[in-house]
Chains A and B, each alone.
Chain A
């Protein structure tokens, strides 16, 4: 057997505050991943992981619907037989074989594999995936949390339309910075269900696609709704969405214990072998729970809900500075 990476290519990716050291036998992969090869200095790095990618030459199938499984410290994600990714959480390493078609497909890496990689390995390098959107208002991060179907993505699109910058709409990667927490985004596309077209007529210009979870959805670049794309920001508050009866709009302050429970209940259990990662994740969630957080009960159109959130946050800020 020959070492396929012995004379390979090496480069680094900067992903959500981590550095991913890539090794591959395929020169074109660096170009495919070019959006992530330039990043901040080493001082900004929370942790490092390695990625070894073997690209099989010649015609090969593109990625298929993914299949995930995990036991102990090993997680395997396969996108058809030609595209298999093996994550080793103990050694912070991802080893994969992919077809040339997948190696040349930036959408696959940017919208699927890299978020999955940080999602799976993140907690071992100090960056945890949190099920919430993140928008940026005058440089300050607003986290928008809630169970699936609460309206995070729809409200994110409305908040971007209202002038906020976009970090993420579904999963936000939270790690430590010198001064506290830092929220990162990886996906630059907002996923909206077909009925969102009634609130955002511009979606009619886009096609519905089958999303990673099998749902039919629009996946459109966040800047379609205006606003800028921002890679990271400091989270300063959090709003938990709670869909309610029509015309409802009310904010209720949450205590730290409620916030902690809400975030903890949405994180994937880890095996006891990964106790250090689980502990690091708990520390970040406990720090998140120290942010001012509110439940927002609403039953109105996303644009109206966005206005309600903006005016509420503006009032909170005025009260703090008064």
Chain B
């Protein structure tokens, strides 16, 4: 069953197209970012170091969806950490899961969180989760 053959709407927004692909450098590692929002990619690349060569070997895969339907309001931040997935929550509509075993960052960004806010608030938490060991016990 593919998204094309199902009549069920994509309520989870699993299959949103991410046409913008880029590679950026964090310290000595490389990450490939796929997103539907080029301004998000710009903000992350400004906060890190942009890598021109998009064919570079990458250490982690990021998929960030600008979620226009997500609830807005509030900037409360919390992190739920359980082996091997850590989750960053920013306000009621931004959620980013970091799978430390698979080196994947998967997230939805609410429309009221600018790229700069994402880079300033969520990005350091994501990077710190990626750096932590995958078998960290459940913490809050």
Instruction: Please report A residues at the B interface, Cβ cutoff 8 Å.
Output: 1-6, 52, 54, 56, 67-76, 78, 80-81, 84, 86, 88, 91, 93, 95-97, 264-271, 278, 281-282
Q: List 16 A-B contacts (CB under 8 A).
A: A5-B137, A52-B138, A72-B63, A73-B99, A74-B85, A75-B12, A76-B95, A81-B78, A81-B89, A84-B95, A91-B84, A96-B80, A271-B14, A271-B15, A278-B1, A282-B1
Asked if B70 CB lies within 8 Å of chain A CBs, one says yes
CB-contact partner of B1 in A2, A74, A267, under 8 A: A267
Q: How far is the CA of A73 from the CA of B99 in the complex (A)?
A: 10
Beyond contacts A4-B138, A97-B80: 14 other A-B pairs, Cβ-Cβ < 8 A, are: A5-B137, A67-B70, A69-B108, A71-B107, A72-B14, A73-B99, A75-B12, A80-B92, A81-B78, A84-B78, A84-B87, A86-B87, A97-B140, A269-B5
Q: How far is the CA of A6 from the CA of B71 in the complex (A)?
A: 34
CB-contact partner of A88 in B12, B85, B139, under 8 A: B85
Asked if B42 CB lies within 8 Å of chain A CBs, one says no
CB-contact partner of B65 in A71, A81, A96, A269, under 8 A: A71
Q: How far is the CA of A268 from the CA of B11 in the complex (A)?
A: 9
Q: Report which residue of A2, A69, A72, A271 has the largest number of chain B beta carbons within 10 angstroms of its beta carbon.
A: A69
Q: How far is the CA of A74 from the CA of B101 in the complex (A)?
A: 13
User: Inside 8 A of B17's CB, which chain A residues have their CB?
Assistant: none
A275 to chain B, nearest CB (A): 11
Task: Say yes or no: B6 contacts A267, CB within 8 Å.
Answer: yes
B27 to chain A, nearest CB (A): 22
Task: Say yes or no: A72 contacts B138, CB within 8 Å.
Answer: no
Task: Say yes or no: A84 contacts B80, CB within 8 Å.
Answer: yes
The residue on A at minimum CB distance from B84 is A91
Q: How far is the CA of A267 from the CA of B97 in the complex (A)?
A: 25
The 4 A-B residue pairs with the shortest CB-CB distance in the complex, in nearest-first order: A70-B12, A3-B137, A71-B106, A1-B139
* A72-B106, A86-B85, A270-B1 as given contacts; A3 in contact with B7, CB under 8 Å: no
B111 to chain A, nearest CB (A): 13
Q: Report which residue of B2, B71, B97, B108 has the largest number of chain A beta carbons within 10 angstroms of its beta carbon.
A: B97
Task: Say yes or no: A67 contacts B92, CB within 8 Å.
Answer: yes
Asked if B81 CB lies within 8 Å of chain A CBs, one says yes
A23 to chain B, nearest CB (A): 8
Task: Kindly supply a per-residue 1/0 record for chain B positions 78-117, scoring 1 wherever the CB is within 8 Å of any chain A CB and 0 otherwise.
Answer: 1011101101010111010101000010111000000000
User: Inside 8 A of B82's CB, which chain A residues have their CB?
Assistant: 52, 86, 93, 95
User: Inside 8 A of A73's CB, which chain B residues have their CB?
Assistant: 99
Q: How far is the CA of A188 from the CA of B54 in the complex (A)?
A: 53
Task: Say yes or no: A4 contacts B139, CB within 8 Å.
Answer: yes
CB-contact partner of B140 in A56, A72, A75, A281, under 8 A: A56
Asked if B37 CB lies within 8 Å of chain A CBs, one says no
The residue on B at minimum CB distance from A69 is B108
User: Inside 8 A of A97's CB, which chain B residues have their CB?
Assistant: 78, 80, 140
Task: Say yes or no: B85 contacts A269, CB within 8 Å.
Answer: no
User: Inside 8 A of B138's CB, which chain A residues have their CB?
Assistant: 3-5, 52, 54, 95
User: Inside 8 A of B92's CB, which chain A residues have their CB?
Assistant: 67, 78, 80-81
User: Inside 8 A of A278's CB, which chain B residues have their CB?
Assistant: 1
CB-contact partner of A95 in B2, B63, B71, B80, under 8 A: B80
The residue on A at minimum CB distance from B3 is A269
* A1-B139, A71-B14 as given contacts; A95 in contact with B85, CB under 8 Å: yes
Task: Say yes or no: B74 contacts A81, CB within 8 Å.
Answer: yes
CB-contact partner of B6 in A56, A88, A95, A265, under 8 A: A265
The residue on B at minimum CB distance from A1 is B139
User: Inside 8 A of B8's CB, which chain A residues have their CB?
Assistant: 265-269
Task: Say yes or no: A269 contacts B14, CB within 8 Å.
Answer: yes
Asked if B55 CB lies within 8 Å of chain A CBs, one says no
Asked if B52 CB lies within 8 Å of chain A CBs, one says no
Task: Say yes or no: B139 contacts A269, CB within 8 Å.
Answer: no
Q: How far is the CA of A317 from the CA of B132 in the complex (A)?
A: 63
